[in-house]
């Protein structure tokens, strides 16, 4: 029966890829035997994919998505056979790589290696949840995290970062099943990879087992040992890619292309299946898999009994984790204060953490510089400060899992220049629409003496170009608070791009607010006369300066210089380009008048401002090494040089 179940999965996967004429049949067919046995160990409820104490199953090799969908359908999740037949088609629930709109998919793993780090994140989140909610009498959180990965996942650097953290934390609730088929797209893994994986993981603090990935007894024995482990557990399963696919079994040609109708028909006949039937599931096989529904429903009902026995403090805490109340946050007041936005941000996140028990995070070994330590809140796993080490990419992917766990609001912190190291995980966060807060300090050439390798230039444009990601670059402490108030209520990740140097406090808004993305912070007293003249002549002796972050106060000073020469100048603070893009024309024309010369000023590449500005005054090169003040002078970001630039463009 186990073999019949496994072959059913194999042929469902093969049929899906064949019908779509696109996909990866090899890995799913090779993993089918493991999937069948693993399905007997998983504690989950197909009727409620969001049950808190379910085992998490992560498919790091997302290209093997046909295996994911076959398992979910067979187990009784809300994923019909028609959806399997619609594999990789527009608007289906069965996308080429797993996405969270599919019931039962825990997280969008995307590029190889992401899922390994996500699994580490789920295991970490479970540990922290258990420390918060469990008592000696009532073990409310005790689930496991399983992850299926392949050679490609372990070749990616992110998996090394994440598994190193897992070993250091002794995550005994984490099981990584490595599909060791020694095949990549280009051929045998030996052409590029020859390390001893067992020795690598043991050196990182894992327990390791080797098994035949097609031997049901060995698979069962290895999975049964999970309960005895005191460290994270790697199961190296030796498999054949495209197991059962005749001449294509073991071949790299089966990795990313349909097997062909003839090969599939021969494989089905060889396994005793009707070679003419496609997407066929026999009643006895379906009955075995669908046992997961009753088993899972019973498990959740028993857990609900435990939930009822939770003491009053525990129930109050769980409710606060599930339903964070942002109105309880008592924000610091920065009115009239000159302060670096990294410093104001540090005070803000401490205020958030005080009010919101699920607010948790850390830095890639830069907390003192990022100002991200949560004061008096301890270190993970008992406290809320996570020490990620110098592992930006793993940090972001781990926190994506924290965001998907169901209880937590995570933040990831580093220097803005190092956002390049975590960009792939930030992108997946945006794709999923999770509340994950990225804190990026040292935001511009103001980094100073560390030089051009550490001075971000193109990064602002990069994040602003990302769909469903909101990049906030506040210009003072008050604006920083408002940015957080907006970000906490967005169903999307946000980035906070923060200064190292102190920033002057801004005047009150004239029109609009941070929630609009940009707002008028200074309006010239001669606007009416000048705009009237501009409307009749077609010329614009009126200027609107648009800026974010440290450049806003510089533009305000430039405006003073220009107004002494009877040039009307308005200044717009634009802390969030993405929110500005969502405003209608009636709003944008109010703060950015048609007959005003609009100049965007930013110490970055800033090319995206051409959407709203007539001229962009930004960086066209990398920075240099020197004191921040000298660099701003050298690259023209002073009030005098901006004023001169404006006058030159009015002539």
381 assigned to a ligand binding site: no
3-state secondary structure of 403: helix
Strands 542-547 and 174-180: unpaired
In sequence order, the β-bridge partners of residue 211 are 237
Tell me whether residue 505 is exposed, middle or buried, using C-beta atoms within 10 angstroms of its C-beta: 0 to 12, 13 to 18, 19 or more.
middle
**DSSP per residue, 30-59:** HHHHHHHHHHHH----TT-TT-TTSPEEEE
Strands (DSSP E) found in 452-578: 470-472, 494-497, 502-503, 519-522, 542-547, 568-573
Task: Give the closest residue to 171 by CA, choosing from 8, 398, 505, 489.
Answer: 398
d(CA 473, CA 510): 19
Q: By the 8 A CB rule, do 227 and 292 touch?
A: no
d(CA 359, CA 370): 17
The DSSP 8-state label assigned to residue 156 in this structure reads S
Q: Element (H or E) spanning 167, and its range? A: helix 157-169
549 assigned to a ligand binding site: no
454 assigned to a ligand binding site: yes
288 assigned to a ligand binding site: no
Please calculate the CA angle 11-297-144 and round it to the nearest 5 degrees: 75
183 assigned to a ligand binding site: yes
* Two structure tokens written together for 152: 């490609």
Q: Element (H or E) spanning 242, and its range? A: none
Q: Is 392 a catalytic residue?
A: yes
* Two structure tokens written together for 206: 């894992």
Marked catalytic residue, from 392, 479, 602, 608: 392
Q: Element (H or E) spanning 147, and its range? A: strand 145-150
255 assigned to a ligand binding site: yes
141 assigned to a ligand binding site: no
63 assigned to a ligand binding site: yes
Q: In which residue are the tokens 């898999």 written?
A: 289
In sequence order, the β-bridge partners of residue 439 are 413, 496
Q: By the 8 A CB rule, do 510 and 600 touch?
A: no
546 assigned to a ligand binding site: no
- Phi, psi (rounded to 5 degrees) for 264: -65, -45
Q: Which parts are annotated binding residues for thiamine diphosphate?
A: 63, 110-112, 152, 181, 255, 418
- Catalytic residue positions, numbered: 392
Q: Which parts are annotated binding residues?
A: 24, 63, 110-112, 151-152, 181, 183, 255, 342, 369, 418, 442, 450, 454, 500
Q: Which parts are annotated binding residues for Mg(2+)?
A: 151, 181, 183
Q: Which parts are annotated binding residues for substrate?
A: 24, 255, 342, 369, 442, 450, 454, 500
């Amino acid at each position: 029966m186990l073999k019949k179940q496994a072959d059913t999965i194999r042929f469902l996967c093969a049929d899906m890829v064949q019908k779509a004429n696109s996909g990866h049949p090899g890995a799913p067919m090779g993993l089918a035997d493991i999937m069948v046995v693993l399905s007997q160990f998983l504690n989950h409820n197909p009727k409620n994919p969001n049950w808190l104490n379910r085992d998490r199953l992560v498919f790091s090799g997302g290209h093997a998505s046909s295996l994911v969908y076959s398992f979910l359908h067979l187990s009784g999740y809300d994923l019909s056979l028609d959806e399997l037949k619609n594999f990789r088609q527009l608007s289906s629930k069965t996308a080429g790589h797993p996405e969270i709109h599919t019931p039962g998919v825990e997280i969008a793993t995307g590029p190889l290696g992401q899922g390994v780090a996500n699994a580490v994140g789920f295991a970490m989140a479970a540990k922290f949840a258990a420390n918060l909610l469990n008592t000696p009498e009532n073990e409310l959180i005790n689930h496991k995290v399983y992850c299926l990965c392949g050679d490609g996942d372990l070749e990616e650097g992110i998996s090394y970062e994440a598994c190193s953290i897992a070993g250091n934390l002794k995550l005994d609730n984490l099981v990584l099943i490595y599909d060791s088929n020694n095949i990549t797209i280009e051929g045998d893994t030996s052409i590029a990879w020859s390390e001893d994986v067992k020795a690598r993981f043991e050196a990182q603090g894992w327990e390791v087992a080797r098994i035949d990935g097609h031997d049901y007894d060995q698979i069962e024995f290895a999975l049964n040992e999970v309960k005895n482990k005191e460290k994270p557990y790697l199961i190296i399963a030796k498999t054949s890619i495209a197991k059962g696919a005749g001449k294509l079994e073991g071949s790299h040609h089966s990795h990313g292309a349909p097997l062909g109708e003839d090969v599939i028909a021969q494989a089905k006949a060889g396994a005793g299946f009707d070679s003419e039937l496609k997407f066929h599931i026999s009643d006895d096989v379906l009955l075995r898999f669908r046992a997961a529904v009753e088993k899972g429903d019973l498990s959740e009902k028993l857990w609900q009994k435990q939930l009822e026995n939770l003491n009053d403090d525990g129930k109050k805490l769980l409710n606060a984790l599930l339903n964070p109340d942002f109105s309880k946050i008592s924000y610091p007041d920065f009115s009239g204060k000159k302060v670096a936005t990294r410093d104001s941000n540090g005070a803000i996140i401490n205020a958030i953490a005080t009010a919101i028990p699920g607010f948790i995070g850390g830095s890639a070994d830069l907390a003192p510089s990022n100002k991200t330590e949560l004061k008096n809140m301890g270190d993970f796993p008992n406290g809320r400060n996570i020490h990620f080490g110098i592992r930006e990419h793993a940090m972001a992917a781990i926190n994506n899992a924290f965001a998907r766990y169901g209880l937590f609001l995570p933040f990831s912190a580093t220097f803005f220049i190092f956002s390049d190291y975590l960009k792939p995980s930030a992108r997946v966060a945006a794709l999923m629409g999770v509340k994950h807060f990225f804190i990026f300090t040292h935001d511009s050439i103001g980094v100073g003496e560390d030089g051009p390798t550490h001075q971000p230039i193109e990064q602002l444009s990069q994040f602003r170009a990302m769909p469903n990601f909101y990049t906030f670059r506040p210009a003072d402490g008050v604006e920083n608070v408002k940015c957080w108030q907006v970000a906490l209520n967005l169903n999307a990740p946000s980035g906070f791009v923060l200064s190292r140097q102190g920033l002057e406090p801004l005047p009150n808004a004239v029109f609009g607010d941070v929630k609009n993305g940009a707002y008028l912070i200074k309006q010239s007293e001669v606007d009416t006369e000048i705009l009237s003249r501009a409307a009749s002549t077609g010329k614009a002796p009126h200027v609107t300066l648009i800026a974010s972050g440290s450049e806003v106060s510089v533009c305000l000073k430039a405006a003073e210089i220009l107004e002494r020469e009877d040039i009307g100048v308005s200044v717009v603070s634009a802390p969030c380009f993405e929110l500005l893009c969502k405003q209608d024309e009636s709003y944008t024309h109010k703060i950015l008048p048609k007959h005003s010369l609009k100049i965007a000023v930013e110490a970055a590449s800033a090319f995206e401002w051409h959407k709203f500005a007539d001229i962009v005054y930004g960086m066209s090169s990398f920075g240099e090494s020197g004191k921040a003040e000298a660099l701003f002078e050298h690259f023209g970001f002073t009030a005098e040089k901006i004023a001169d630039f404006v006058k030159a463009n009015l002539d």
